[in-house]
Structure 1
Amino acid sequence: MAHLPSRRRLALTAPVVLSLTASLGFLPTAASAAPVTTSATRATDAPALAYVVNTRADHRTIGSVKKAIASVGGTVVASYEKIGVLVVHSANPDFGPRIRAVRGVQSAGATRTTPLSPAGTTDEGAVQVLSKAEAAKVAKASGAAGQSEPLEADQWDLRAIGADKAATVNPGSRRVTVAVIDTGVDDTHPDLTANFSASQSANCVGGVADTAPGAWRPYNPTEDYHGTHVAGEIAAARNGVGVAGVAPGVKVASIKVSDPKDGLFYPENVVCAFVFAADHGVEVTNNSYYVDPWLYNCMDDPDQRAIVDAVNRAQLYAQKKGTLNVASAGNSNHDLDSDAIVDASSPDDGTPVSRTIDPHECFDVPTQLPGVVTVSATGVKGAKSYYSTYGLGAIDVAAPGGDKYQIPDTPSANGRILSTLPNNTYGYLQGTSMASPHVAGVAALLKSTHPYASPAQLQALLKLQADSTACPTEPYDGDGNGVVDATCVGGKRLNGFFGHGVVNALRAVK
């Protein structure tokens, strides 16, 4: 099963981001970074481990490094030359130390700790599939309320950010595409098919983009439902069927990055996804996951440092090409502005070892990378969701992600988020995975309204137009068990729970 934000997403303060960027020598570039496949090796028959090798982005250096890779028992799978990232497979246990000693290599490391791994977990609790009887009850209420979509009465989240009203002003432009980097999207779903962009979709598992028809769909629709749910939150059409998305007029694409063996999101897959999105004209990416196998990648570890370097080069490249990247903050209820966090889940592809990390030196990828919009989650009452990671200077904006303890006045009384699932079904999920696509949808509306806005300008507008939300006046007890679960620091206009505030879709189209 795909392993997504059941603990994840951090974000740096600006000074740390800048020092991180400088120390690693990240190489943003506007030139094309299309991968050059140099081996037919696939993830299913790869040697023991996969690596990312990051070099200076010049042809001569990359050529010499490729020769060195071969000499120490490595096989280049993909070469993203314009950003200086090589994806390599090697069974040599000394490959990492030996390749790091090669001239021109700036960082290199393994992208996993074991060849095979167990399945991960998804979100904050299992999916709740909407039954036919429940759907009929919701549809009756929606009709009575004059809502255009049969299940809209249960979509408290749309009303919370004014997305229902925004759709009557501007549902979004067909010239804007949001790519869902995730477990795959079922584009045959009747709420998604009209808005789906096959030409901007791919399967990036293994680090090489496969654009064959349908390659972007879930491997197992029963288990890999996450990407389809996210896609519906963003762009489910207002077509009189099922639910509506935040931006029902924009296009949505699928870039699948979850491994078929274990459902994990390995770095080489995500590098491929960011570059593919950038090179195919995607305006916004949604990233409701963290890059496996480390919840936090620490800069004093050569493998983890290389992961941060490689993924950051790719996402900076996307930004340079005009793509805004939005990511969920994580479901660990961690304070990213604290002095220490206990990470008991890493590495998640083998046997986790509990470690205490400094969130200013160890980073959740991609959400903590420079320029990425980091999103915390709220429930129907507007309070921080009990699971949502937070932190002053870490969270940019907040959005509805659902909370089972915050009960809405809807037909289902379900505090989670209702959206599309594979095989023409619908269901509820909660998590910062669900908050991030709300922000991606609002960003798409902003891009529709301001077609020439850069990623930095879109992010500024998201923050400027957000509904400022103050810290709670009472001690925060998200699950109601009498124990203080988190402490909010900051003022109404900027704080650790909500960042600059809850995004506003109606303002985005005005």
Structure 2
Amino acid sequence: MKALSSFILFLFVFSFSCLIFAADYEKYLENDKMVIFFPEDEKYDVGELLKKSEQFHDIEIVKSYFIPSPKLQIISFNKAISWEQKEEIFSSVNLAGDVMHLPYLKNNEGFWLGILPDIFVSVNSEAERNSLILNMGKQGWEFEPVNHLPKNVYKFSNRQSSGKEILDLAISLNNDADYLWAEPGYFFFPDVHDVPDDPIFFRQWHIENEGTAAQGNGVVGADISGLDAWTVSKGNPDIKVAIVDSGVDTLHPDLSANFYMGFDATGGNSNGFPNQNYSQDAHGTAATGIISAIADNGIGVAGIANECKFMAVKSFYYIDSLIGIIPFATSEYFSSGLIWAYQNGADVINNSWTIPPLFLALLPGNPALIDAALEEASTNGRNGKGTVLFFSSGNDGDPPYWPSDLEMTIAVNATSMCDERKSPDSCDGENWEGNYGETINISAPGVRIPTTDMQGTKGYTNGNYTLSYNGTSAASAVASGVGALILSVNPDLTAEEVAYILYTTADKIEGCDYSTYKNGSTWCPELGHGRVNAYQALLSAQDFEGISSVNNSVKNHYLRIYPNPVRKSIHFNHNFNHPVKLTIYNINGQFVYDKIFTILPNKINIDEILSSGFYILKLTSDRESITKKIIVQ
């Protein structure tokens, strides 16, 4: 469980829906913490200065820690202190003029966020930019040009304003009909979800599951049909996958040749390389290996889209906080990372992070800055065809978290090596559960996935690889790799068409009621449209003729057989959810297999039924019949 990608991200989100607290925000003020904001050229221990204040004699500092960028000190006290008391204590010590004391807010569930001295404002058009800048300037707010913001969104800073003045102005601007929305900066805790000659490939059950002990004693065929898919394509170097994460070890020998370009959205100028302070910094490197690790190079593992290029987008890093090692980011980091990725040619973006609803409960809506970036990427990416956006759904057994639940994104749940929805009861024995519900779209393997690690002793292990990367973070990376393969064989597909192909070719795992029909295929709330099938998806992409216009109430049934020629078992990809009769005839027209299924399984074993030769397979229901030719080797 060391590499389980389910952890709390300390997200400094420079966005805040300003109707949040309106007139009553003061009741959410957190009284046992203080946030200190430093200008770029300042940093010292404010906590030590506070101790010298005469008004601080009965107050103790429990813990304090620094954030390097932006420069912050977060101080926790042993008792509640009113905002007015904090103001008095803060003003009683000799601090530089630009050092600020900012509000901390907490909801009834105990989740908190803090306000920062920046406001983002969205206007209808660029023509309104100048009047906005003039208006904000009159109130002491300086326009701060920033690259990679969504269109017609502008950032303003004021290092002299008090914390409450920031909130009051943001609320006023958000209620002003002249602007689309306005948000101040804030921080809180979202969720982030953690046969070639490659020597570790035999453990990569998600690509080819043989049910071995090394693969967790799973079910044969409970995989993405990766080896079959590679007979069609291993990827195209013109297709780029951006990994918006903690950064990627771009010097890793199993990744470096597929590295296209990088970007450090956190301002560290690392070109997408991760920090190397904590083992958790390997999160992005592990996700990248699932997608883009080089195949047939005699080392390590093989990525699903191993001939595609990847883009390393560092949008968070890890800190040692009041509650342990947690990731830290800003919404501006995420927003600029997404904007940079699509503007620089990303065809697919993998996002293994979400925000739990208990944080969003403080807001009347979703963080607008990240929403705007996602909307822009999904609409304008790939010259208007749309960048494909994959998100992990979360690892808590809840409904999928934002932003995986948005219509423009693909929410991915996890499956086990035994072809089950990942839960504490699945065969792997790990005590976590993928998020599922009305907005889940697809599922993919997400348990004990072998992949790349940061080199040396800096990552999850003391080597260059980890054998147990877990979580819907891993599942999202698997699905992203399949998405890259789809575009490799048909780069003219739109983002909507890529999703449609994934949904209509997914394997229907047993134990799920696929009685709902949407997006071209049957669907269930636990696994979405089923487990991704890379091989069937590539076959569909090659001959794709467009999204079916058939009404959702009418089910176009299909049956695909793979591999063909078949060996020990026949695998089915289908969307039948009612009783069917399966009949197999030999070349002489004689029955050799005849059985009625309430629900047709995804696989039947034939090694003791059929000998080598040519056969006709017929599937019959009360509505229709489908006939297929098969060859048994």
User: What TM-score, normalized by structure 1, do the two folds share?
Assistant: 0.69
String of CA shifts for 1:161-184, please: whole Å, max 9, x gaps: 011332233100000000000000
Q: Secondary structure in 2 aligned to 1:464? A: helix
Deviation, 1:273, is 1.1
Distance 1:74 1:445, change over 3 A: same
Alpha-carbon contact 2:339-2:377 (below 8 Å) kept: yes
Structure 1 gaps of 5+ residues are 9-38, 125-145, 337-363, 403-415, 474-487
Alpha-carbon contact 1:73-1:92 (below 8 Å) kept: no
User: How many angstroms apart in 1 are the aligned matches of 2:243 and 2:281?
Assistant: 13
Match of 1:217 in 2: 273
Q: Secondary structure in 1 aligned to 2:413? A: strand
Alpha-carbon contact 2:411-2:440 (below 8 Å) kept: yes
Match of 2:408 in 1: 371
Match of 1:241 in 2: 299
User: How many angstroms apart in 1 are the aligned matches of 2:117 and 2:133?
Assistant: 15
Could you say which structure has the higher strand fraction? 2
Distance 1:288 1:89, change over 3 A: farther
Amino acid at match of 2:451: S
String of CA shifts for 1:132-152, please: whole Å, max 9, x gaps: xxxxxxxxxxxxxx6421001
Percent identity reads: 24
The alignment's C-alpha RMSD in Å is 3.3
Q: Which has the higher contact order (CA 8 A, sep 6+)?
A: 1
Distance 1:460 1:229, change over 3 A: same
Deviation, 1:367, is 1.2
User: How many angstroms apart in 2 are the aligned matches of 1:71 and 1:265?
Assistant: 31
**Range 417-426 or range 86-95, more displaced:** 86-95
Amino acid at match of 1:205: T
Deviation, 1:466, is 0.9
User: How many angstroms apart in 2 are the aligned matches of 1:55 and 1:109?
Assistant: 9
1:109 aligns with 2:172: no
Distance 1:258 1:7, change over 3 A: closer
User: How many angstroms apart in 2 are the aligned matches of 1:388 and 1:180?
Assistant: 23
1:55 aligns with 2:93: no
Match of 1:32 in 2: none
Deviation, 1:423, is 1.1
Amino acid at match of 2:477: P
Amino acid at match of 1:167: W
Amino acid at match of 1:56: V
Deviation, 1:444, is 0.3
User: How many angstroms apart in 2 are the aligned matches of 1:472 and 1:461?
Assistant: 20
Match of 1:25 in 2: none
Match of 1:264 in 2: 328
Amino acid at match of 1:169: V
Alpha-carbon contact 2:242-2:313 (below 8 Å) kept: yes
Amino acid at match of 2:444: A
1:227 aligns with 2:297: no
1:43 aligns with 2:69: yes
Match of 1:148 in 2: 197
Equivalent position to 2:166, from 78, 95, 98 = 95
1:382 aligns with 2:410: no
User: How many angstroms apart in 2 are the aligned matches of 1:286 and 1:69?
Assistant: 36
User: How many angstroms apart in 2 are the aligned matches of 1:51 and 1:152?
Assistant: 48
User: How many angstroms apart in 1 are the aligned matches of 2:446 and 2:187?
Assistant: 32
Match of 1:252 in 2: 310
Distance 1:5 1:82, change over 3 A: same
Q: Secondary structure in 2 aligned to 1:398? A: strand
User: How many angstroms apart in 2 are the aligned matches of 1:63 and 1:380?
Assistant: 57
Match of 1:457 in 2: 497
Equivalent position to 1:318, from 377, 382, 386 = 377
Alpha-carbon contact 1:72-1:92 (below 8 Å) kept: no
Alpha-carbon contact 1:267-1:291 (below 8 Å) kept: no
Q: Secondary structure in 1 aligned to 2:284? A: helix
Match of 1:129 in 2: none
Distance 1:381 1:260, change over 3 A: closer
User: How many angstroms apart in 1 are the aligned matches of 2:340 and 2:349?
Assistant: 11
String of CA shifts for 1:432-488, please: whole Å, max 9, x gaps: 000000000000000011110011111111111111224359xxxxxxxxxxxxxx9
Amino acid at match of 1:265: A
Alpha-carbon contact 1:56-1:106 (below 8 Å) kept: yes
User: How many angstroms apart in 2 are the aligned matches of 1:105 and 1:4?
Assistant: 39
1:85 aligns with 2:156: no
Amino acid at match of 1:495: C
Q: Secondary structure in 2 aligned to 1:311? A: helix
Match of 2:469 in 1: 429
User: How many angstroms apart in 1 are the aligned matches of 2:358 and 2:197?
Assistant: 41
Alpha-carbon contact 1:173-1:250 (below 8 Å) kept: yes
Distance 1:400 1:108, change over 3 A: same
Q: Secondary structure in 1 aligned to 2:329? A: coil
User: How many angstroms apart in 1 are the aligned matches of 2:204 and 2:172?
Assistant: 55
1:497 aligns with 2:537: no
Q: Secondary structure in 2 aligned to 1:253? A: strand
Match of 2:535 in 1: 506
Amino acid at match of 2:201: E
Alpha-carbon contact 1:325-1:373 (below 8 Å) kept: yes
Match of 1:276 in 2: 340
**Range 159-168 or range 52-61, more displaced:** 52-61
String of CA shifts for 1:483-508, please: whole Å, max 9, x gaps: xxxxx996893111110011111123
Distance 1:489 1:309, change over 3 A: farther
Match of 1:332 in 2: 396
Deviation, 1:96, is 2.8
Deviation, 1:158, is 1.2
Distance 1:122 1:58, change over 3 A: closer
User: How many angstroms apart in 2 are the aligned matches of 1:81 and 1:268?
Assistant: 8
Query: Based on CA coordinates, which of the two structures has the bigger radius of gyration?
Result: 2
Q: Secondary structure in 2 aligned to 1:190? A: coil
Match of 1:406 in 2: none
Match of 1:420 in 2: 452
Alpha-carbon contact 1:2-1:263 (below 8 Å) kept: no
Deviation, 1:81, is 6.6
Amino acid at match of 1:240: G
Amino acid at match of 1:44: P
Amino acid at match of 1:454: T
